[in-house]
Every structure is written in C-alpha cells, then in structure tokens.
Amino acid sequence: MTVTLDRRGLLGAGVAGAASVGLSGVAGAKPVLAKGMRKADFKGAIAAMRAVVGPEWVFADEDAVRPWRKTYVPDPSGRHAPVGAVCPGTVEEVQALVKIANQFRQPLWPVSTGKNMGYGMTSTAAPGQVVLDLKRMNRIISVDPELCTALVEPGVTYRQLKDYLVEHNLPLWIDVPTVGPVASPVGNTLDRGVGYTPYGEHFMVQCGMEVVLPNGEILRTGMGSTRNPSAWQAFKWGYGPYLDGLFTQSNFGVVTKMGMWLMPAPPVYKPFVVRHKRVEDVAKIVEAMRPLRISNIIPNVVLMMSAGYQLAMFQRRGEIWDHPEPVTDEALMAAGAKVGLGYWNTYFALYGTPEMIAANEAIVRAAFAAIDGEVLTEAEMQGNPYFHHHATLMQGGLSLEEVGIVRWKGAGGGLAWFAPVAPAKGNETTGQIALAKQILGRHGFDYTSAFAIGSRELHHIIALLYDKSDPEEEKRADACYRELVAGFGERGWASYRTGVHAMDLVAQQYGAVNRAFNATLKHAIDPNHILAPGKSGIA
C-alpha cells in the first residue's frame, strides 16, 4: 500500500504510518520514508543529489537499491532496508549532499566500504535513510615511512593499502579484521573494530580525522586544524577536549579522512597455537593469558577459538551433526580432533628480534605448560588450514576464510555477531558460556564462539548463525538475539558493538543518563537529525 500524508500529519507517527517509497522490501515489507518525509521531499532530495554527483551515482528505484539492501543480520520486517543510495567522489560533494539532506530533511546513512558482515553491511538502523556510500572516496592521501603513518579516505580497503605498501616495498604492516580484503580501515576503526597484530585495537592507533559536520563545515581533529598541521598523524590529542571519540560508533559527523599508525615489520614473527581439550579449560586459559597481555609479553590481540567456530569456517553443520537440537560439545570435540583442533585453540604470536622471541617464548611455554596446554608452532602445524588462517591474520595478512561460517546452517547465509564484554578473569567465562548455550538452545541455535583478550578485557564473540532463506528461522534469530542482549545485560555483560538490528536495544544497557547525554549532543550538533538517526541508539 502506498499512502501520501502531509509532513505535519506524520510527525511523531510510527513506521506503519509513514509513506512508502514504492520499493518492495525484505520479507514482503515495503521500505518507508523517514518520519516527516513526503514523497515530494524524497524526489526533491534525489534530484538535487543527482545534480551534485551525477545521475549515475544516485540510486533510488527498487532494482538499483538492491545491492545496498543485502544483509546477514535478521530483519524479518524489512525495516532496515535503505530507500536509496548516493556515492560521492570528493569531500566537497559530501558537503553538498549534507546541505541537501538538511534542506529536504532526508536522513543519510554513511558507510565506508559497507562490509561489516554480521553487523549490517549497508543496511540502516532506522527506516527511510539514503545510504551515503563513501566507497568511491578511495584515495590514499599519504604514507610516511619514517613515522610509520598513513592518511586514508573511507573507501580505501585494507587490500588497497597493503597493495600500496607492497608496490613501494615499504616494510610496514597493516592490521586487519577478519574481513580485511574488502573492508575499510576507516569504517572498522569508526566501529571500534579489532585486528590481531600488536596494532589490533584500531582506535588506539588512529591519529587525526577530517569530518564533515551535519552543517556542512569541515572539522579536522587533533593537530589537523593548526596552521601547519605537520604532526596531524603523529600526535593524537591536539589541545582541548579530545574529539575523535565522538565520531566513533556515533552519528555526529561524516569522517572523510582518517590518520592511522602502521606497525614496522618485525625482524622475526612467530605464531603459536595452544590447544586445550575441554570447554571449561577456557577459564584457566584466561587466567594464564591476562598477565602475559597486560605485561605485553604477548603483544597482540589474543583469540581463543572454539572448535565450533573453527569447524564452521570450512564445514557445514550437516557434516558434523544431523539433529535439529544444538550441536553438542562432544560432537564438536570429536570433529575437531579429526582436523587437529582442540575445543579451545588459543592463537597468539611473538614479534621482534630472535633474542626477544627466544626469551618470551620460554616464559609463554612455561605459563601454558602449567595449565596443560599443548603449545604448537609452524613446525608442528604445517599444512593445518586453521593455523595457517590465524598465522595470516596475526601478521596483517588478508583472508576471508571466516566468512564461510555464514553457510553453517544453510545456503541462505545468516549471521549476527553478539559481543558482550567482561573483565579478563577466568571466572567470568563459565557463567557466560552457560547463559549463551541456554538462550541459543531455547531458540534452536548452536553455540559458536570465540573469546578475545585485548588487554584487560574479555570479549565473548558469539556468532548467531541461522539460515536467512527460512523466514521462520530469521524471526527466531531476531528473537534470540534480543534475548541474548537482555539476558547478558541483566548480568552486567553489555556489548561493545552490535548490528543495525539491535542498536537501540544495546544502547538501553548503558543507562538513561548516557543516552540522554548522547541525545543532547546529537540535537546540538545535528538539529535536523539528518545523519544516521538510530546509529548506536542515538536518535
């Protein structure tokens, strides 16, 4: 049904009452225009955008928008489908588009490369938004081989940056998330994502931003606004309040350039895996790992991968378990043992001179010998695809092998990451695993997980895997995810990040004062609410 209502009549109305844009949406729903938008406003905004970037870079009809609507996260009602997309090529075009958005009150949803798989890709948190697709802005502005820094636009992929370093024979490493080849350093950093080298905490190694504010002005953070911004990528803090954090996991501006630090390639890199056989072993692994991470003897972000997660990379569920009930730990352990996996497979690496590595390897081996860990290296794991995958990631190598997990339940692909945070203490793990299995099992889903230790915190990374081609299963996945957020929240375990389908829900875990403060900032910075309403629950 397509209805046309005047703007005043729609203000404050729910989604069901908003005007349809005429697109047929996901699961039979029709994407609707944003609150207060009339069809005439939408058409006016689209026409004005075409005049800025050219008609070939604006997309507003059903077939044309389809590539921006593909998502792995559950969206049974189709409310996260965008109504259009616009692809600027320059920062000046971004400024012009933001002004058009203000004029017509058309919300824009910025994406960098739009490949945050399992978090929403280019789908939007609230209905009626036009994707501001920054992928064409893919310039590497500068690389400084002495300071080991780079300045890049949002559309640059990790692969592009790596290509540049290889072509120019610069011995600098990148640090990649698990979807590195097609993902963007800017997008991943702004979502506060992580990688697996010593530079794995991406926001920690970010330095300086250029931001188009909702009023179209350009803000350069840190040293970038000084008369001679020679230290823009060298010194993070500048003077006065530190602003960069405001533009991560937020909707306060469009980041059009970002500085980042690059790790010098070490003389020696040595990856390890430690195998443990039992589910409950993870508690003592965390206890052993914490002091090694805090003291930086192990300098990279450590992953403790469960057999379930590892097996799902290269195998389908039916090859391991043919029952509708969640796959058992025993079945996973048996299948894992056949391919050289423990129940927990803890990956870390040492970096430095041969002397540094020899000294630290002795400490690490002693720590894991004390908890019956089987410490293995390339010498023993040659040819093991799981070890090879993580050895690749921990040196900033490029791989998409983990994307294979989206086919675990069926060809339809379905994935939503659930990532609660706890302190890095072993006694936090047991309760989390039990609660996750309880909630997932109630909805008929498997426990597929990893733990990660950045420094002092423990991320429990749970892949909610479902078959998106089955509408009933998609509804169950949506309900399950919500129960995970609520159930973990009650125990004090809130998520560090979530997909577009659950941003408001996760924001609720952080309390009314936090939400009100963000809303106050939003209204002051973006009074027309034209940038990504609903992002991180900030409306």
Partner 1 sequence: MRGPLFLAPLALVAGGTALATAPIAQKLGEPLPPRTPEQVYSSTCAYCHGANVGPVIRGRALPAAMVEMTVRQGRNAMPAFRPSEISPAELHGLAQWIEAGPADLKEKGQ
Q: How many helices (H) and strands (E) does the chain have?
A: 16, 19
Scanning 117-125, 274-282, 456-464, 497-505 for contacts with partner 1 by CB under 8 A, the matching segment is 117-125
Looking at the Cβ atoms of 21 and 349, the one nearer to partner 1 is: 349
Six-digit token pair at 44?
A: 């006016």
Looking at the Cβ atoms of 163 and 490, the one nearer to partner 1 is: 163
Scanning 93-101, 226-234, 266-274, 443-451 for contacts with partner 1 by CB under 8 A, the matching segment is 266-274
Q: What are phi and psi of 405, to 5 degrees?
A: -65, -20
Torsion sign over Cα 151, 154, 155, 158: positive
Nearest CA among 223, 211, 418, 154 for reference residue 309: 418
Decide: is 192 part of the binding site for partner 1 (CB under 8 A).
Answer: no
Region 485-524 residues binding partner 1, contact defined as CB under 8 A: none
Binding mask 330-359 for partner 1 (x = CB under 8 A): ------------------------x-----
Region 386-415 residues binding partner 1, contact defined as CB under 8 A: 388, 391-392, 395, 397-401, 403-404, 406-407, 411-413
Looking at the Cβ atoms of 220 and 388, the one nearer to partner 1 is: 388
Least distance (Å) between residue 514 CB and partner 1 = 33
Looking at the Cβ atoms of 181 and 444, the one nearer to partner 1 is: 181
Contact 394, 349 (CB under 8 A): yes
Least distance (Å) between residue 259 CB and partner 1 = 14
Region 200-229 residues binding partner 1, contact defined as CB under 8 A: none
Region 294-313 residues binding partner 1, contact defined as CB under 8 A: none
How far is Cα 493 from Cα 115, in angstroms, rounded to an integer? 26
Looking at the Cβ atoms of 37 and 111, the one nearer to partner 1 is: 111
Region 367-386 residues binding partner 1, contact defined as CB under 8 A: 378, 385
Please, what is the Cα angle at 313 between 310 and 317, to 5 degrees? 90
Decide: is 118 part of the binding site for partner 1 (CB under 8 A).
Answer: no
Contact 253, 145 (CB under 8 A): no
Six-digit token pair at 104?
A: 């017509």
Of 81, 91, 98, 148, which one interacts with partner 1 (CB under 8 A)? 148
Decide: is 164 part of the binding site for partner 1 (CB under 8 A).
Answer: yes
Looking at the Cβ atoms of 209 and 350, the one nearer to partner 1 is: 350
- Grouping H, G, I as helix, E, B as strand and the rest as coil, residue 465 is strand
Looking at the Cβ atoms of 396 and 533, the one nearer to partner 1 is: 396
Region 6-45 residues binding partner 1, contact defined as CB under 8 A: none
Q: In sequence order, what DSSP letters do the residues of 184-243 get, joined into one string?
A: -HHHHHHTT-B-SSTT-BGGGGEEEEEEE-TTS-EEE-GGGGSSS-TTTTT-S--SSS--
Looking at the Cβ atoms of 271 and 537, the one nearer to partner 1 is: 271
How far is Cα 149 from Cα 234, in angstroms, rounded to an integer? 8
**How many residues of this chain bind partner 1 (CB under 8 A)?**
74
Least distance (Å) between residue 193 CB and partner 1 = 17
Of 270, 284, 460, 497, which one interacts with partner 1 (CB under 8 A)? 270
Strand partners, 218: 212
Least distance (Å) between residue 374 CB and partner 1 = 19
Scanning 7-15, 158-166, 196-204, 425-433 for contacts with partner 1 by CB under 8 A, the matching segment is 158-166
Least distance (Å) between residue 146 CB and partner 1 = 6
Region 48-77 residues binding partner 1, contact defined as CB under 8 A: 57, 59, 66-70, 72
Scanning 128-136, 279-287, 293-301, 337-345 for contacts with partner 1 by CB under 8 A, the matching segment is 128-136
Please, which residues have CB within 8 angstroms of residue 434's CB and are 6 or more apart in sequence? Answer: none
Nearest CA among 129, 178, 195, 122 for reference residue 154: 122
482 included as an active-site residue: no
Given the residues 164, 269, 496, 510, select the one marked as catalytic.
Answer: 496
Least distance (Å) between residue 173 CB and partner 1 = 9
Nearest CA among 451, 458, 454, 447 for reference residue 484: 447
Length of the chain: 539
Torsion sign over Cα 505, 510, 513, 516: negative
Contact 120, 111 (CB under 8 A): no
Write down the H helix ranges in 23-138: 39-53, 62-69, 91-104
Of 27, 201, 269, 528, which one interacts with partner 1 (CB under 8 A)? 269
Nearest CA among 86, 3, 13 for reference residue 52: 86
Decide: is 85 part of the binding site for partner 1 (CB under 8 A).
Answer: yes
Given the residues 79, 105, 275, 497, select the one marked as catalytic.
Answer: 497
Binding mask 428-447 for partner 1 (x = CB under 8 A): --------------------
Region 449-478 residues binding partner 1, contact defined as CB under 8 A: 469
Residue type, 523: H
Write down the H helix ranges in 54-184: 62-69, 91-104, 158-167
Please, which residues have CB within 8 angstroms of residue 253's CB and are 6 or more apart in sequence? Answer: 211, 212, 213, 214, 219, 246, 247, 525, 531
Decide: is 171 part of the binding site for partner 1 (CB under 8 A).
Answer: yes
How far is Cα 221 from Cα 213, in angstroms, rounded to an integer? 12
How far is Cα 460 from Cα 473, in angstroms, rounded to an integer? 23
Given the residues 72, 119, 309, 466, select the one marked as catalytic.
Answer: 119
497 included as an active-site residue: yes
Looking at the Cβ atoms of 45 and 183, the one nearer to partner 1 is: 183
Looking at the Cβ atoms of 72 and 368, the one nearer to partner 1 is: 72
Contact 532, 129 (CB under 8 A): yes
351 included as an active-site residue: no
Burial status of residue 77 (CB atoms within 10 A of its CB: 0-12, 13-18, 19 or more): middle
Least distance (Å) between residue 442 CB and partner 1 = 25
Give catalytic residue positions: 119, 496-497
